[in-house]
């Protein structure tokens, strides 16, 4: 008897499993993402979103980006440093809306940050985005215009020489622990943390600015919260004597750069570093509730009436899901209201009734680096990459429109000159996107001395990077186009790490590689990508004595017009030299559940998935 | 027996040492962790500072000797990518989740595979037997992450019965990752049980029991099953370790905050000390369970002598 019963049970279990597999195997066909690009209407943002429309579907031209508001924050003037006295504008506060929210919890599924630690200064920028709902900064960037706006400062003034900054801090801003309000000592303490030797943010940069008391680099010293570099006028007013001119303080100290979060000195002294790491506090609209490493981070509304914004949602939870399909499943199962959805899966979520929203400004810049263009010490005269005719041939060999259509649904804004966006004041509208012209590419190679079909031998490397997983995919047609005009390409597609190791060592002679970075002003791009170690470059991609000199002049100058002119001239030089193979600008894109979220004003940063959630608008009954 | 245990322990320690050296070397072949840990525009001075702090400026044999020296005293070092959090703390936080998941998957494997294995042996060449083979084939041929995603899609997205991921919905949270992880082993255990049962069913004492009129249920479950259990039991012991170490992908797919998920994060960040600690820990589990199974096997089967 028992045998028969067992047999029946076993049979049921087997049939269930088979049924499960059968159903499941059928599901993907039904849920397959569309092979064609989602309809334009499906790609639109929620009606209430103030964000500009995506770039035109047709081959993007520099002039086609007029829908984008001018990110005036790229200029010195709006960065707050050009005028001796900046006039702060009002902080954007969402208008109150009526009706009960359909949901009190906002759940966001994102890829995990590179490094998880609730003390952001210890792990640097990539992690700190997830702390921004809780901790504030001195400035914030407008999500559409990118202008510097006051956050924890209300007024600021910079001296003629650009080295002395006078700040009026916001008064009576309480921390979450309820026993302290923000003041000058908190700013100085935070500055000490950011420049701490164990910090992994822009440590050196902050240390450089700290001024005469720059040796104060340890949190173990007694003088926490004070430094000779900062003259405290009152608890809410200070004069900071930086040890060199720096006009972009409002940019670097804003949420755009993620690093400089404000910490409470009082709380630190009361509870110590370990407890601060377990239960961090800040002045933001959300306060920390719990954290499960590798899984989720929970916040709840901190104040009934926050000085800056009262979020629509009572709680905010980040779920860290590495797998793309898991995030898609979370959105579709309505376990997440906002989720990072890779471009190839967006059609599927749109088909299921969800929406795709995109960042208000581009989040990424994508291009192909042409290695080997170093200063004399690393330059190889036999490297074909050092020949401008070869570089021009490379630029005309590839079809950017085809890449845009095949991999980015025409949502990439094509780029004429790597590092200069059309909204950058130093951009020149005369710059043109290199035309796809394989015949011209062949001619240029012949002019460079290569016989037809026997072009130069180059190595092409490509590896995946967060935010633009298509980097490895776009490498395939690019290699094919290069070979078509005669290049002999040795392709290496895999991890990005070997590429990073080589460009850091300035060993990219004869090598091309796909690269992406965030959306930055040209001044920063030149500093990171187009100068040598002598000028504290970082990604050694292009070096030339002229650019070195110009960049040095730009750094020393405190005349905004002169600085803008220098950047334009550097841009012109890079453009004429065909220094890189520019591809385009990409926006950060997210899936949202329109039954819960009316508007998600994603900012431009590629940490956008973690930021700006206090401004997310809920659907109301 | 004592000599056998002593030799096996020595072998285990040697195996662990070899594994630690291999992992230590391989992790470093993958590239420079500082390039990932620091922002792209970090200055050479900061790079050198970080390299020195984590001892990466030392020769590799010094790094290894220092690591092993600390490891044997229970100091696994600090996690670079997590801002210097002690690795023991990270592991202590994650290990219980992995043990719970692996334990549940083990129960799933055993509770499905053993009864089906017995039944398909008893009903040899019947439709039931064929159905069992199909189940086994699917289990062995489909990767666990694929099974996991299919289960997630069906039971979480389409039916909405279970959560897609995470571990905060109580028992419901563990069902999908547990089944996905355990299912792969169902097939193997079921097939082992079946073949072992067929062998036992054909023995003289089973025939005698049936001739004497013993109830079939008693013949199968008391006499046959017990004797047929040795082979699947050995394997079940081994898959305990396999489930612990094999949870890496499933934990990532289901956002299960265990050691596997931590391992993936550590690999992504080239956090060498964390990678080494987890791999050595996994290896130690595996070796220990192997050892335990060998010893238990020797005790269970008096015919086995060393």
Nearest to B116 among A13, A31, A528 (CB): A13
Residues 264-303 of chain B with CB under 8 A from chain A are 264-265, 268-270
Residues 542-601 of chain A with CB under 8 A from chain B are none
* CB-CB under 8 Å, A6 with B118: yes
Touching check for A217 and chain B: CB below 8 Å?
no
Nearest to A17 among B118, B135, B165 (CB): B135
Q: Is residue A333 in some structural domain?
A: yes
Residue in this structure with the two tokens 């936080």, named with its chain if needed: B93
- Interval A435-452: pLDDT, tens: 999 999 999 999 999 998
Q: Is residue A48 in some structural domain?
A: no
Q: Which of A120-134, A274-288, A344-358, B8-22 has the lowest mean pLDDT?
A: A120-134
pLDDT at residue A215 tops 80: no
Whether A539 and A595 map to the same domain: the answer is no
Domain containing A480 — which CATH number? Answer: 3.10.105.10
Q: What is the pLDDT of residue A72?
A: 42
Residue of chain B whose Cα is closest to the Cα of A464: B268
Q: What is the pLDDT of residue A573?
A: 97
Model confidence band, residue B306 (pLDDT cutoffs 50, 70, 90) = low
pLDDT > 70: percent of chain A: 79
Whether A332 and A391 map to the same domain: the answer is no
pLDDT at residue A186 tops 80: yes
Q: Which two tokens stand for residue B155?
A: 């039971």
- Interval A236-259: pLDDT, tens: 999 988 878 888 888 888 877 767
DSSP B4-34: HHHHHHHHHHHHHHHHHHHHHHHHHHT--HH
Q: Which of A138-152, A170-184, A345-359, B276-290 has the lowest mean pLDDT?
A: A138-152
**Domain around A550:** 364-586
| Residues A385/A509, Cβ–Cβ less than 8 Å | yes
Touching check for A20 and chain B: CB below 8 Å?
yes
Q: What is the pLDDT of residue B305?
A: 57
Whether A278 and A356 map to the same domain: the answer is yes
CA distance B173 to B190: 26
Whether A571 and A593 map to the same domain: the answer is no
pLDDT at residue A21 tops 50: no
- Interval B267-278: pLDDT, tens: 877 788 898 899
pLDDT at residue A38 tops 60: no
* CB-CB under 8 Å, B153 with A24: yes
Q: Is residue A274 in some structural domain?
A: yes
- Interval B109-126: pLDDT, tens: 888 888 888 888 888 888
* CB-CB under 8 Å, B32 with A501: yes
pLDDT at residue A549 tops 60: yes
* CB-CB under 8 Å, B30 with A293: no
Q: Is residue A33 in some structural domain?
A: no
Q: Is residue A35 in some structural domain?
A: no
CA distance A590 to A331: 10
Domain containing A311 — which CATH number? Answer: 3.40.190.10
Average pLDDT over residues B93-105: 92
CA distance A595 to B279: 44
| Residues B22/B64, Cβ–Cβ less than 8 Å | no
Model confidence band, residue B96 (pLDDT cutoffs 50, 70, 90) = very high
Average pLDDT over residues A336-363: 90
Cα first-last separation, chain B: 7
Whether A552 and A532 map to the same domain: the answer is yes
Q: Which of A479-488, A561-570, B60-69 has the lowest mean pLDDT?
A: B60-69
CA distance A206 to B299: 67
Q: Is residue A258 in some structural domain?
A: yes
Q: What is the pLDDT of residue A435?
A: 96
Q: Where are the beta strands (DSSP E) in A308-404?
A: 315-320, 338-340, 355-358, 364-370
CA distance B232 to B116: 13
Domain count, chain A: 2
Q: Which two tokens stand for residue A160?
A: 């003629």
Whether A429 and A343 map to the same domain: the answer is no
**In a mutagenesis test of the A interface, which of B41, B126, B261 is the best target, namely the one with the most A β-carbons within 10 Å?**
B41
CA distance A175 to A130: 18
Whether A196 and A111 map to the same domain: the answer is yes
**In a mutagenesis test of the B interface, which of A214, A248, A293 is the best target, namely the one with the most B β-carbons within 10 Å?**
A293
Residue A461: exposure state from Cβ atoms within 10 A (0-12, 13-18, ≥19): buried
Nearest to B217 among A3, A125, A319 (CB): A3
Q: What is the pLDDT of residue B240?
A: 79
* CB-CB under 8 Å, B255 with A10: no
| Residues A570/A551, Cβ–Cβ less than 8 Å | yes
| Residues B297/B234, Cβ–Cβ less than 8 Å | yes
Whether A235 and A164 map to the same domain: the answer is yes
pLDDT at residue A57 tops 60: no
* CB-CB under 8 Å, B35 with A497: yes
Q: What is the pLDDT of residue A201?
A: 64
Touching check for A321 and chain B: CB below 8 Å?
yes
Average pLDDT over residues B167-178: 92
Spatial CA neighbour of A31 closest among A352, A488, A253, A276: A352
Q: How much is the ipTM here?
A: 0.84
Q: What is the pLDDT of residue A484?
A: 96
Q: Is residue A84 in some structural domain?
A: yes
Q: Is residue A31 in some structural domain?
A: no
Whether A604 and A466 map to the same domain: the answer is no
DSSP A533-579: GGGT-SS--B--HHHHHHHHHHHH---HHHHHHHHHHHHHHHHHHT-
Residue of chain B whose Cα is closest to the Cα of A123: B83
CB pairs under 8 A between A and B: 192
Whether A155 and A198 map to the same domain: the answer is yes
- Interval A490-513: pLDDT, tens: 999 988 878 988 998 899 999 999
Whether A259 and A346 map to the same domain: the answer is yes
B195 vs A353, higher pLDDT: A353
pLDDT at residue A88 tops 50: no
- Interval A152-169: pLDDT, tens: 999 999 998 888 999 999
| Residues A368/A580, Cβ–Cβ less than 8 Å | yes
Whether A373 and A485 map to the same domain: the answer is yes
**In a mutagenesis test of the B interface, which of A295, A319, A551 is the best target, namely the one with the most B β-carbons within 10 Å?**
A295
Touching check for B91 and chain A: CB below 8 Å?
no
Nearest to B216 among A3, A20, A326 (CB): A3
Model confidence band, residue A51 (pLDDT cutoffs 50, 70, 90) = very low
């Amino acid at each position: 008897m028992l045998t028969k019963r067992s047999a029946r049970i076993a049979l049921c279990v087997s049939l269930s499993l088979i049924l499960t597999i059968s159903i499941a195997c059928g599901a993907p066909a039904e849920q397959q993402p569309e092979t064609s690009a989602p309809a334009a209407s499906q790609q639109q943002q929620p009606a209430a979103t103030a964000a500009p429309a995506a770039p035109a579907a047709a081959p993007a031209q520099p002039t086609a980006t007029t829908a984008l508001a001018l990110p005036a924050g790229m200029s010195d003037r709006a960065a707050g440093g050009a005028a001796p006295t900046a006039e702060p504008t009002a902080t954007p506060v969402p208008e109150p809306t009526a009706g009960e929210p359909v949901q009190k919890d906002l759940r966001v599924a994102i890829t995990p940050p590179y490094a998880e630690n609730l003390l952001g200064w210890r792990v640097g920028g990539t992690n700190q985005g997830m702390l921004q709902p809780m901790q504030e900064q001195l400035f914030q960037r407008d999500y559409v215009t990118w202008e510097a706006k006051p956050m924890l400062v209300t007024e600021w003034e910079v001296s003629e020489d650009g080295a002395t900054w006078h700040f009026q801090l916001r008064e009576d801003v309480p921390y979450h622990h309820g026993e302290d309000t923000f003041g000058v000592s908190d700013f100085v303490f935070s500055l000490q943390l950011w420049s701490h030797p164990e910090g992994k943010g822009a440590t050196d940069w902050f240390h450089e600015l700290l001024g005469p008391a720059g040796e104060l680099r340890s949190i173990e010293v007694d003088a926490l919260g004070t430094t000779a570099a900062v003259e405290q006028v009152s608890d809410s007013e200070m004069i900071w004597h930086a040890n060199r001119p720096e006009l972009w303080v409002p940019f670097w100290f804003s949420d755009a750069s993620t690093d400089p979060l404000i910490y409470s000195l009082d709380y630190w002294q009361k509870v110590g570093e370990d407890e601060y790491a377990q239960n961090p506090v800040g002045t933001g609209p959300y306060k920390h509730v719990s954290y499960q490493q590798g899984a989720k981070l929970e916040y709840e509304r901190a104040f009934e009436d926050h000085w800056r914004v009262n979020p629509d949602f009572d709680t905010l939870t980040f779920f860290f899901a590495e797998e793309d399909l898991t995030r898609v499943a979370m959105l579709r199962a309505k376990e997440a209201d906002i989720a990072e959805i890779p471009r190839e899966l967006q059609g599927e979520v749109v088909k299921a009734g969800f929406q795709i929203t995109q960042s208000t400004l581009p989040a990424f810049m994508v291009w192909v680096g042409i290695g080997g263009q170093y200063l004399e010490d690393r330059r190889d005269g036999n490297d074909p990459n050092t020949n401008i005719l070869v570089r021009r041939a490379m630029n005309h060999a590839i079809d950017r429109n085809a890449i845009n259509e095949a991999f980015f649904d025409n949502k990439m804004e094509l780029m004429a000159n790597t590092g200069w966006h059309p909204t950058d004041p130093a951009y020149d509208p005369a710059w043109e996107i290199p035309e796809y012209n394989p015949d011209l590419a062949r001619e240029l190679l012949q002019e460079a001395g290569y016989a037809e079909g026997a072009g130069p031998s180059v190595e092409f490397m490509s590896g995946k990077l967060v935010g633009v997983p298509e980097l490895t995919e776009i490498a395939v047609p690019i290699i094919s186009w290069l070979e078509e005009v005669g290049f002999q390409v040795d392709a290496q597609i895999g991890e990005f790490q070997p590429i990073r190791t080589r460009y850091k060592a300035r060993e990219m002679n004869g090598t091309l590689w796909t690269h992406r970075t965030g959306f930055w002003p040209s001044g920063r791009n030149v500093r990171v990508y187009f100068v040598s170690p002598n000028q504290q470059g970082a990604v050694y991609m292009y070096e030339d004595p002229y650019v070195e000199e110009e960049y040095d002049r730009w750094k020393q100058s405190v005349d905004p017009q002169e600085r803008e002119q220098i950047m334009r001239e550097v841009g012109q030089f890079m453009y004429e030299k065909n220094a890189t193979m520019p591809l385009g600008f990409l926006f950060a894109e997210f899936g949202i559940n329109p039954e819960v979220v009316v508007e998600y004003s994603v900012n431009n940063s590629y940490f956008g998935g973690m930021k700006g959630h206090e401004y997310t608008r809920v659907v109301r009954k | 027996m004592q000599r056998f245990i002593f030799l096996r322990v020595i072998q285990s320690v040697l195996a662990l040492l070899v594994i630690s050296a291999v992992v230590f070397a391989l992790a470093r072949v993958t590239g420079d962790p500082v390039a990932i840990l620091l922002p792209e525009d970090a200055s050479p001075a900061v790079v050198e500072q970080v390299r020195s702090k984590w001892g990466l400026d030392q020769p590799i044999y010094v790094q290894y000797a220092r690591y092993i020296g600390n490891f044997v005293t229970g100091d696994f070092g600090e996690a670079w990518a997590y801002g210097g959090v002690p690795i023991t703390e990270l592991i202590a936080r994650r290990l219980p989740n992995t043990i719970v998941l692996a334990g549940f998957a083990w129960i799933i494997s055993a509770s499905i595979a053993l009864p089906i294995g017995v039944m398909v042996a008893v009903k040899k060449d019947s439709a039931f037997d064929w159905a069992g083979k199909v189940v086994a084939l699917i289990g062995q041929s489909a990767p666990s992450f694929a099974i996991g995603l299919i289960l997630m899609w069906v039971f979480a997205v389409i039916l909405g019965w279970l959560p897609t991921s995470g571990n905060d919905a109580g028992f419901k949270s563990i069902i999908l990752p547990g089944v996905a992880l355990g299912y792969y082993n169902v097939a193997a255990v079921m097939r082992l049980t079946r073949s072992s049962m067929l062998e036992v069913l054909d023995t003289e004492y089973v025939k005698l029991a049936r001739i004497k009129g013993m109830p079939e249920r008693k013949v199968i479950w008391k006499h046959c099953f017990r004797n047929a259990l040795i082979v699947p039991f050995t394997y079940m012991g081994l898959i305990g370790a396999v489930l612990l170490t094999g949870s890496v992908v499933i934990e990532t797919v289901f956002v299960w905050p265990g050691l596997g998920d931590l391992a993936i994060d550590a690999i992504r960040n080239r956090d060498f000390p964390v990678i080494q600690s987890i791999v050595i820990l996994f290896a130690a589990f595996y070796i220990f369970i192997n050892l335990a199974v060998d010893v238990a096997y020797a005790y269970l089967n008096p015919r086995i002598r060393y």
